[in-house]
Amino acid sequence: MELFSAIEAFNNLSAPKIKLLPRRDGRVNAELPRTGQTILVVDSQFKPEVKVAERDLALLCQEARAAAAPANALLDAALGAMNDLASPPSAEGASGNAPARKK
């Protein structure tokens, strides 16, 4: 999936949205609301020197990570709660040591 389409799909499920800004020379910039940066997501059709760079992609990754952080925290909490439900309390006590047997 190309970046432009991926950002549109992301925007359909996310707030705040990444603003896509098409330019006359064919390039498309994106304003990243969480990081406050503007990046290039589609190369210029008329200026071959205007291309998506590693820095653009790194900033887009930062934006995606910032957007995913609340969902990841919720997922971790839900998985932890499921783990707590699946594991009944141990009879061995909090230390994990079994009580000594009487002879």
Domains held by the chain: number: 1
Enter the pTM of the model: 0.71
> What residue type is assigned to position 53 of the chain?
A
**pLDDT of res. 8:** 87
Percentage, residues of the chain above pLDDT 90 = 51
Tell me the sheet residues that pair with 26: none
Boundaries of domain holding 36: 3-83
Residue 27 CB coordination number (10 Å) = 19
- pLDDT band, residue 75 (cuts 50/70/90): confident
17 part of a folded domain: yes
Q: Identify the helix (H) or strand (E) that includes residue 20.
A: strand 19-22
> Does 94 score more than 90 pLDDT?
no
Tokens of 2: 């190309």
- Average pLDDT of span 68-82: 88
Tell me the CA distances in angstroms from 41 to 7, 58, 65, one per residue in order. Answer: 9, 12, 17
**pLDDT of res. 92:** 60
88 part of a folded domain: no
Rounded-to-integer distance, Cα 91 and Cα 85, Å: 16
Asked if residues 40 and 31 have their Cβ atoms less than 8 Å apart, the reply is no
41 part of a folded domain: yes
14 part of a folded domain: yes
